[in-house]
Amino acid sequence: MMAKQDIYGRLGVRKLLNAEGTVTALGGCRMEPEVTMAMAEASRHFVDMHELLAKSGDHVAKLLGVEAALIAAGAAAGLVLATAACVAGNDPAKAQRLPDTHGMPNRVALHRCHRNGYDQALRQVGVELVEFGWIKETYPWQLEAAIDEVTAAVAYFVEFSERGSLPLETVIQIAHSRGVPVIVDAAAELPPVQNLRHFTDLGADLVVFSGGKEIKGPQSSGLILGQRDLIEACALHTSPNYSIGRSMKVGKEEIVGLVVALERYLAQDRRAVDDQWETQVAYLIDRLGGLPGVSAQRVYPVGPGRRPGTIPRAVIQWDAAALSLTVQQAVHSLYAGDPPIAVGSTKDALVLNPQTLEADEVTIVADRVHELLHSYVAQARVE
C-alpha cells in the first residue's frame, strides 16, 4: 500500500536540508515537540486575547527579569509596534491616525551605516528616518545634531553595529539626555542567552527579538522587552485592537508556543548544545578539508552581517579558477540537488552552519559537498 504523502509532498513543495541558519526565507527554525503540542492544545480553546497577551507578557518578563514584555507577530512586527509606541504613546486617538503622524514626534534617528531592508518596519508607522554618521565611522556629535524636538526615538540595529557605529551605551546616554527613547533590533542576537536582558540592562527602552530563530518558537512570533509604559503602548497598537498592528496578528497558538519555547530555551543544557555544534563543525572540516586544493576551517565569531555571530561555522574555500567552479555555482548546484541543500556563502567561500542541522543531516551535507568538490577536483586533474 502506498504511504500517505506528507503535506509538503501533497503541495509539491521540496523539503530542504538547511545548513545556512534560521533565516526567514527558509522557514526559521524547527520547533520542538512540546512547543507544537502546546500550540495544538491552545488551538482547541477560546480565550480573551487581551488577557492572554497581558498575562503571557507578565510571565515572560518574570522569566527574563525585565520590566515588561509583549509577544508580537515576529521581530519586524515588533519594530512597527515599538515605533508606534514611541510616536503615539498610549493615546488611542493618535493610534487611530497612524501612519498619519502630523503633529506628533515623527522622526527616528538611525545610523547611516545601519540602513537596511528591515528599517521599512520603522517607516511603516509614517516616520521620517534621519540618518546620522558616515558609512564607516560615526561621532557622538552627529547623533546629537540629529535629535530635535520631533524626534520620537533612536533606532539601533545590533546586526550592523560592527560597520562603524557608536556603541549602544553611547547612543543610550545621548538619547536619554535629550529625553528620547532607544529601540534596539536584536532579532538574531541569540546566543548567548544573556542577551535576552543585556540590552535592557544597558538602558535600552524597547528591545525586539525573533521568536522563530534560536528560541525555536513559531516563525511568526517575537518578543518586545522594555519599559512598562512603552510596552503598554505597544499593546495598544497591536491586534486585536483596531490599530496599525491589527494586520500583524499573533494568534493564541503562537503566543503559547513562544512561551513554551522560551521556557525550554532558558532551561536547556547550554554546554551540550555548544558541544554538539562544535562536533558537527569538526566533522565537516575533517570530511571536506582533505580534498586537494580545498581548505576547511572553523570560524568563530563570524564576520559582520552574518547572524548569529556567536555560532561556529565551517568555512570551505578553493581556487575557483583552478577548479572551474565558483562559490555561487556550488551554492546553486547544492540547492538544485535531491534533497536540496541550502548553505551560506561569501564571495569566495561556502559557510556551513550547524545550528539548523540534525546529526544525520550533517553527514548528508558533508557527503554532498564532498561529492561536488571532488568531481571538479578530478576534472581539473584530467585537464
Instruction: Express as a percent the part of the chain with pLDDT over 90.
Output: 92
Which pLDDT value is given to residue 307?
76
Contact 168, 156 (CB under 8 A): yes
3-class DSSP state for residue 253? helix
β-pairing, 68-72 with 206-210? unpaired
User: pLDDT digits over 141-186, tens only?
Assistant: 999 999 999 999 999 999 999 889 999 999 999 999 999 999 999 9
Q: How far is CA 113 from the centre of its chain?
A: 19
Instruction: Order across the sheet with 128-132: list the strands.
Output: 68-72, 222-226, 206-210, 182-185, 151-157, 107-111, 128-132
Q: How far is CA 359 from the centre of its chain?
A: 23
Domain with CATH 3.90.1150.180 in the chain: 7-25+269-382
Q: Which of the residue ranges 254-268, 298-312, 321-335 would you say has the lowest mean pLDDT?
A: 298-312
Does residue 5 surpass a pLDDT of 80? no
Which pLDDT value is given to residue 87?
98
Whether domain 7-25+269-382 has CATH 3.90.1150.180: the reply is yes
Domain with CATH 3.40.640.10 in the chain: 31-267
Q: Give the Cα separation of 205 and 190 in Å (integer).
A: 19
Task: Give which of 67, 43, 49 is closest to 245, Cα–Cα.
Answer: 49
- The residues pairing with 344 across neighbouring beta strands, listed in sequence order, are 351
Contact 155, 186 (CB under 8 A): no
Cα 180 to Cα 147, 174, 242, 323, 356: the distances in Å are 8, 9, 27, 55, 38
Contact 73, 28 (CB under 8 A): no
Does residue 2 surpass a pLDDT of 50? no
Which pLDDT value is given to residue 378?
78
Q: What is the mean pLDDT of the chain?
A: 95
User: pLDDT digits over 23-56, tens only?
Assistant: 999 999 999 999 999 999 999 999 999 999 999 9
Which pLDDT value is given to residue 188?
95
Q: Give the Cα separation of 82 and 337 in Å (integer).
A: 42
pLDDT-based confidence at 302, cuts 50/70/90? Answer: confident
pLDDT-based confidence at 1, cuts 50/70/90? Answer: very low
Quickly list DSSP for 325-356. Answer: --HHHHHHHHHHSSS-EEEEEETTEEEE-GGG
Tell the CATH topology of 31-267.
Aspartate Aminotransferase; domain 2 (3.40.640)
Instruction: Find the mean pLDDT for residues 304-323.
Output: 87
User: pLDDT digits over 108-118, tens only?
Assistant: 999 999 999 99
Which pLDDT value is given to residue 383?
60
Instruction: Find the mean pLDDT for residues 320-344.
Output: 95
